[in-house]
Amino acid sequence: MTTLRTPGLVALLLAAAMGAGCTASAADTPTPAATRPAAPPAAKPAAPMSHMAGGMMGADTRAAVPLTAMMAAHQKSQMRDHLRVIQEISVALAKDDYAAIAASAGRIGWSTQQAAMCKHMGAGAPGFAELGEAFHHTADTIVAAAKARDRAAVTTALGATLATCVGCHDAYRQEIVDDAAFAKLGGDTSCPMMGH
Ligand code: HEC
């Protein structure tokens, strides 16, 4: 097994790389990322630097969403379907196929099950479930616009929905925890919805 024999050096190199690679943000925020308090998600502006939030250099200041490994995998597969929905809507919009738009958008629309899922996933992340529900409600406006066969309204609703995707991704990241840690956060690890 290969192990890093010089973790101190690696850390130093990483720190140097961060300083060199994130010139603008480093100049604005001299505090090391690790000691910087996580900004409350709600107060986070749609910053022009938000492409840095993904942490190319490891400086990921987004709030953690603690999830068990199984829940995290489930959330990611849901996310990939969310993206597929957006793809389907784009294709359908080009063909003015409003029935297809409404059907696809309906997959991400609000429902009591979706709301329960958001709450379940966000048990250890204050504000997460609210953002999730706002996302599903916004997706409902795509369905309504499609039913009205209103192309401009569909594109506006699609943009508003994508803004909720971007906003949540800017604010939160997954963090894998074990069942005991999740239960301690007030989460229910025996959620029946996780069975499929
Ligand atoms: C309420 C929060 C929230 C909303 C809304 C949201 N996502 Fe996500 N999404 C996440 C989180 C958290 C992750 C995990 C990111 C991480 O850990 O870096 C994620 C990851 C993803 C991924 C990566 C999946 C993978 O397999 O790695 C995709 C794709 C994605 N989201 C698409 C979307 C799209 C498209 C929308 C809107 C239509 C959306 N998401 C809305 C929270 C959200």
- Segment 88-114, tens digit of pLDDT: 999 999 999 999 999 999 999 999 999
Q: State which of 68, 168, 175 you would mutate to test the pocket of ligand 1, scoring each by most atoms of that ligand within 8 A of its C-beta.
A: 168
Using the predicted structure, report yes or no on whether residue 33 has a pLDDT greater than 60. Answer: no
Question: What is the pLDDT averaged over residues 124-135?
Answer: 97
Using the predicted structure, report yes or no on whether residue 21 has a pLDDT greater than 50. Answer: no
Reported as a pLDDT band with limits 50, 70 and 90, residue 161 is very high
Q: State which of 61, 75, 82, 107 you would mutate to test the pocket of ligand 1, scoring each by most atoms of that ligand within 8 A of its C-beta.
A: 82
pLDDT of residue 171: 98
Collapse the DSSP code of 66 into the 3-class scheme (helix H, G, I; strand E, B; otherwise coil) and give the result.
Answer: strand
Taking the centre of ligand 1 as the mean of its atom positions, its distance from the CA of residue 17, in whole angstroms, is 28
Biggest CA pair distance of the chain: 64
Using the predicted structure, report yes or no on whether residue 116 has a pLDDT greater than 90. Answer: yes
| Ligand 1 neighbourhood includes 110 CB (under 6 angstroms) | no
Residues contacting 65, CB < 8 A, separation 6+: 75, 121, 122, 124, 125, 128, 172, 173, 174, 175
64 - beta bridge partners?
Answer: 173
| Spatial distance between the Cα atoms of 14 and 7, rounded to a whole number of angstroms | 10
| Ligand 1 neighbourhood includes 148 CB (under 6 angstroms) | no
pLDDT of residue 195: 44
If one compares 148 and 44, the residue with the highest pLDDT of the two is 148
| Ligand 1 neighbourhood includes 125 CB (under 6 angstroms) | no
Take residue 182 and report the two structure tokens written for it. Answer: 């999740």
Q: Which of 175, 183, 188, 169 is nearest to 66 (CA)?
A: 175
| Ligand 1 neighbourhood includes 107 CB (under 6 angstroms) | no
**Token pair 């369905």: residue:** 143
Collapse the DSSP code of 173 into the 3-class scheme (helix H, G, I; strand E, B; otherwise coil) and give the result.
Answer: strand
pLDDT of residue 193: 55
Using the predicted structure, report yes or no on whether residue 158 has a pLDDT greater than 60. Answer: yes
Reported as a pLDDT band with limits 50, 70 and 90, residue 41 is low
CATH 1.20.120.10 fits 66-188, yes or no: yes
Q: Domain spans of the chain?
A: 1-31, 66-188
| Spatial distance between the Cα atoms of 144 and 150, rounded to a whole number of angstroms | 9
